[in-house]
Amino acid sequence: MPWMETGPMDQRMRLVAAHQAGTMTMAEVCRQAGVSRKTGYKWVQRYQVGGVSGLSDRPRARQTQAHRTPAAVVDQLLALKGRHPTWGPKKLVASARALVASGQAPDHGPIPAPSTVGALLQRHGLVRTRRRGRRPLPTSPLLHLADGPNQVWAADFKGAFAVGDGTVCAPLTITDTHSRYLLRCQALTRTHTGIVQALFEQTFRDYGLPAALRTDNGPPFASTGLAGLTPLAVWWLRLGIRLERITPGRPQQNGRHERLHRTLGEDALAPPATTIATQQRAFDRFVAEYNTRRPHEALGMATPAQVYGPSVRPYPSRLPELVYPRADHVRQVRPNGALRWQGREIQIAHALAGEPVGLHWVADGQWEVHFGPALLGILDEPAGRCFPVSARLRPAGAHGPQADTEG
């Protein structure tokens, strides 16, 4: 049985004494002490080297660092960071190694990895922590697979660049995801809602309306408000177009459109034209080539023009009225984006100012808020807020819908 517990030093001395007496094997000594043979040999060895003091506990922290960056290398990296405050660890490492290799800086030892340099900058307070912004809320996490033309269109801005005269150009591209047909490629100097909406209107007049529009979560397509609504998105919903938004940071969910942008850059932007007008002419030539002469392997080597056909839904002369057959109440959103409900103002979305929304009872004090075909969120009366559909709400009650005191 293990020895009676007294104190660590006493136990270790008894183990060493029993071993030195030679009346028992080390295995028997360790068994009685209740320790492993490895531990027993460790204490015997420490006693032989340092006597009784060798049996004391030692600090567990490492006394040395085998791969500690030399102080001269640290000074070199910090000086380089001082000359280039906006550079990150990867650029600093590459530059420091290049300077040493070319003889422009002394060789004080190997330059550490970017991860080590990042930790070094963090310790010296040279890294600015970015505040995490609010993530846009997708209208729906479901992205539909298009098996025919005009079921899903995709729209995006290719990265902005400067043409020869210095004007910044941000091309807007619109495609039919099934046929890869490039419906619009427009060189823009501004991406304001009015300009973008006018281009979409012309595209709708030329090709009809799609069933759905897929975009990223940036303006003017989306916002950080309820259901990511913007004036442009509200207009699309009024036209009966379903909104699809890719997950933030997942451009591969719109991979066909991203691949188009790569081809556009290789064929029409290498190098950019001298003016916006000449750049637009280059885009027009690209659209004709891409749609009518460039075969696509995914289309069985057909061209997009051989697969695409206009939508059977024409662009209407006026916006259709919104109808809510399932709604228990229909209310108009106030100019400040709020809904007057049960004597309180509940914020919905500024983009819906002046628009009617339908409210459908789902539980005690909880109402679905619809705008046209889209479910925007759940109005929770006790909380006085309208939550996104994905929010966790309190358990549903058993009572039916209450009368709206606003009349």
Tens-digit pLDDT profile for residues 168-213: 999 999 999 999 999 999 999 999 999 999 999 999 999 999 999 9
Considering the domain architecture, whether residues 168 and 294 belong to the same structural domain is answered as yes
Confidence of residue 301 (pLDDT cuts 50, 70, 90): confident
Residue 2 within any structural domain of the chain: no
pLDDT at residue 98 in the model: 81
Amino acid at 99: L
Element of type H or E holding 367: strand 366-371
Boundary residue ending a domain (257, 281, 307): 307
How far from each other are the two terminal CA atoms of the chain, in whole angstroms? 85
* End position of a domain, from candidates 82, 104, 123: 123
Are 169 and 265 in contact by the 8 Å Cβ rule? The answer is no
Q: State the residue range of the domain holding 47.
A: 8-55
In a domain, 64, yes or no: no
Mean pLDDT across 39-60: 84
- Reported as a single tens digit per residue, the pLDDT across 329-350 is 999 999 999 999 888 999 999 9
Residue showing tokens 């379903």: 242
Q: How far is CA 19 from CA 31, 32, 56, 187, in A?
A: 12, 11, 18, 88
Does residue 395 belong to any structural domain of this protein?
yes
Alpha-carbon distance 43 to 37, whole Å? 10
Q: For residue 99, is it within any domain? A: yes
Q: What six digits make up the tokens of 303?
A: 């061209």
Residue 183, both tokens: 């419906």
- My answer on whether 297 and 325 are in the same domain is no
Structure tokens at 242: 């379903």
Same domain membership, residue 286 and residue 164: yes
At a CB cut-off of 8 Å and minimum separation 6, what does 395 contact?
Answer: none
- The candidate with the shortest Cα–Cα distance to 157, out of 174, 133, 134, is 174
Is 175 contained in some domain?
yes
Question: Which of 54-58, 69-73, 345-349 has the weakest average pLDDT?
Answer: 54-58
Residue 181 confidence (pLDDT): 96
Are 283 and 158 contained in the same domain?
yes
Q: Across-strand partners of 388?
A: 377
Q: How many CB atoms lie within 10 A of CB 19?
A: 21
Q: Domain ends where: 307, 342, 362? A: 307
Same-domain check for residues 286 and 399:
no
> Is residue 79 within 8 Å of residue 71, measured between CB atoms?
no
| 147 pLDDT above the threshold of 90 | no
Q: How far is it, in rounded angstroms, from Cα 353 to Cα 371?
A: 12
Could you tell me which of 139, 215, 137 has the C-alpha nearest to residue 375? 139
Say if 230 falls within a structural domain.
Answer: yes
According to DSSP, the residues that pair with 152 across neighbouring strands are 212
Is 130 domain-assigned? no
Do residues 167 and 275 make contact, with C-beta atoms less than 8 angstroms apart? yes
Among all chains, which residue has been given the structure tokens 């992205």?
143
What are the φ and ψ backbone dihedral angles of 209, each rounded to 5 degrees? -100, 140
- Measured in whole angstroms, the distance separating CA 210 from the mean position of its chain's CA atoms is 27
CATH number at residue 112: 1.10.10
How many CB atoms are closer than 10 A to CB 16? 21
Name the token pair of 258.
Answer: 């991203």
Write down the pTM of the prediction.
0.62
94 and 232 housed in the same domain: no
With CA atoms as reference, report the closest residue to 203 among 159, 240, 173.
173
Residue 407 has pLDDT above 50, yes or no: no
Pick from 180, 207, 211: nearest CA to 310: 207
Instruction: Single out the residue of 230, 229, 244 nearest to residue 376, CA to CA.
Output: 229
Number of domains in the chain: 4
Do 48 and 94 fall into the same domain?
no
Same domain, 256 and 339: no
Other Cβ atoms within 10 Å of 340 Cβ, number? 14
- CA torsion 26-27-31-34 (nearest 10°) is 70
Residue 170 CB burial class (10 angstroms; 0-12, 13-18, ≥19): middle
Q: Distance of alpha carbon 256 from its chain centroid, rounded?
A: 19
Q: Are residues 404 and 258 in the same domain?
A: no
Q: Residue 137 pLDDT more than 70?
A: no
Residue 95 shares a structural domain with residue 210: no
Flag the least confident range among 175-189, 221-235, 241-255.
Answer: 241-255
Q: Is residue 96 part of a domain?
A: yes
Q: Are residues 187 and 95 in the same domain?
A: no
93 and 181: one domain?
no
